[in-house]
A = this chain, B = another copy of it.
Amino acid sequence: MKRHALSLALLATLAAPAFAAPDGDTRPTPGAIADAAPDAEWRRIADDDLLVMTLAPDAQGAERRIVMQLLPEPFSQGWVGNIRLLARDHWWDGTSVYRVVDNWVTQWGDGEDERADPKPLPTGIVTVPERNYVVAADSEAYRTVAQTLRSQAIRRAQSAAAPMRNGAPPPVAMEPRPGTRDYGADPYAPATGFYRGWPVAMNDAAAWPTHCYGMIGVARDLTPDTGTGAELYTVIGHAPRQLDRNIALVGRVLDGMEHLSTLPRGKGSGGVYADQARHTPIVSVRLASELPQGERPAFEYLDTDGESFARYLHVRANRDDSFYHEGAGGIDVCNVQVPIRPVD
């Protein structure tokens, strides 16, 4: 029973697919809230924003397919353009996953061993300036992001006012603490929230996406180099938020993350594999829009500006279902998995 009960409680924290509350428990879990969200609150991800990376089969011969989503406007648009170009060029085909560091990143592209003879980049790759790591405060886009986060805060406050624990008023722990902006207390930025399904942070100068588990970024040389997008990494541990505003984030892993997070850790310099036989070959990387209709993955995310997401976030920050003894009374932006679900 011990393992089973923990399993149920933990399952309820997983974003997708959504799960019901444990037997007989009427207090909602985050998963149950996402599960109950009406179809109208789910947003289909465009085929042109999905990348499918196929690795060589694993040691048991099983397929390894990873589905990634590219960041929407206004974030990372220079780099995302390069990524689309590299994908259309089939540039990553034949490269490899060459670096894995525990609680840090898994990195792929033209591997360490090819450094002396790097693979030529396709025509049209642009050099993106460092200022594009963020959306600057003097832009219309910044104001839109700020307004989105403000509206979310209001919606969450309304969710917090709703009774929980079988009709009882919310306990004190559910109220934002003095000096914090609802759940936004964050060591890295005065405000955090979600923009079109993505975790973001902002201050008075800029807005930017955040380095959470599964986010994908552009490896680069020393600043002011900003990288092309030909070498990418994904976060496989605790959010390394010190990289925010320092490296371009371009997307996130939606499916197949385990094929990147379970790879053997590298023992060479910086976690690069010392032995080239350890590299995992990349068979292909394709935009979903390039694949035949029947092979295209399809996903939806829960609208982060909707009522259900506001409730989901509130309950994520204030768990009071059967497993919990004490609600946290807060949550950090990278501990909120935006619900994602596959579409048949």
Q: Name A residues whose Cβ lies closer than 8 Å to a Cβ of B.
A: 1-11, 13-14, 22, 59, 98-99, 101-105, 107, 111-112, 115, 130, 133, 177, 179-180, 183-188, 190, 212-214, 219-225, 227, 231, 237-242, 244-246, 257-258, 261-265, 269-272, 316-317, 319, 322-332, 334-335, 337
Contacts and interface: CB of A to CB of B under 8 A. Distances in A.
Contacts of A238: 212-213, 237-239, 334-335
11 contacts: A1-B115, A7-B270, A103-B214, A180-B187, A213-B237, A223-B323, A223-B324, A237-B237, A242-B331, A246-B323, A246-B326
Contact of A335 (B3, B22, B180, B242): B242
Contacts of A102: 257-258, 261
Number of copies: 2
Contacts of A190: 177
A241 B332 contact: yes
Given A239-B238, A269-B7, A329 B258 contact: no
Contacts of A188: 328-332
A10 B105 contact: yes
A101 B325 contact: no
B4 A269 contact: yes
Contacts of A221: 1-2, 5-6
Contacts of A317: 187, 242
A7 B237 contact: no
Contacts of A98: 3
Given A316-B242, A334-B238, A4 B258 contact: no
Nearest to A176: B187
Given A213-B103, A257-B102, A319-B242, A7 B271 contact: yes
Contact of A10 (B104, B115, B227, B231): B104
Given A3-B219, A6-B270, A245-B326, 18 more contacts: A7-B99, A7-B272, A59-B59, A133-B325, A179-B179, A183-B187, A184-B187, A185-B186, A186-B330, A187-B328, A187-B332, A188-B328, A188-B330, A188-B332, A213-B237, A238-B239, A239-B335, A242-B335
